[in-house]
A and B are shown apart, each in its own frame.
Chain A
């Protein structure tokens, strides 16, 4: 069974540009989560989808971040415009049920110059 996949694996952009990260959850998993680890700090929660609905977006840092999950399958996380402090690793995770194990993707390493 394929695990959670994320694209791209790495992205280097300049400050002010736009970047879109994609996450494909495990097939059949209704729950999709985004996390990020910036500047060597803790991995922090960004938001949680249940199917196509945003269940919890309390971790989204500001309105430069937009997450979507149209159709309840894959999800995108857009950063526009990117700032230097957005550099870090963005993780996606999915789970079948709300209390089930969250399976993580390999992460997207974002560097904003």
Chain B
């Protein structure tokens, strides 16, 4: 079964601290992995996708096929990073997004 797991519902860190939001997936094929973010009172938007290998707003994520993980990392968290973060995948056979339950990141001053 295709599934995305985000084990943390809430992650609270202080400004300047490193952040790692965990994401594990189960899929037998070669999925495409994404991180979406929803800031307060804004719509869901794409943060990054693994095929782009980009760093957006200081965030990076590396696909680890051996561990079936796609953790999101940032070395120094900022208060404006506070938001809801969703990990998602699209299976090779479809274009639908399969979402994890989300992790709320709270960056405290």
Contact = CB atoms under 8 A, between A and B. Distances in A.
Interface residues of B, number: 18
A29 interface: no
Contacts of A59: 96
A72 interface: no
Contacts of B96: 33, 45, 48, 56, 58-59
Given A3-B43, A101-B46, A105-B43, A44 B95 contact: no
Contacts of B28: none
Contacts of B32: 99
A104 B45 contact: yes
A48 B90 CA distance: 13
Interface string A59-71: 1000000000000
A98 interface: yes
B99 A98 contact: no
A104 B43 contact: yes
B43 A107 contact: yes
Interface stretch (A10-18, A20-28, A35-43, A78-86): A35-43
Contacts of A74: none
Interface of B: 4, 32, 36, 43-46, 49, 86, 94-102
> Which 10 residue pairs across A and B have the least CB separation, nearest first?
A45-B96, A104-B44, A43-B99, A106-B43, A42-B101, A104-B43, A42-B99, A101-B46, A98-B95, A56-B94
Given A48-B95, A48-B96, A91-B44, 5 more contacts: A42-B99, A43-B102, A59-B96, A99-B32, A105-B43
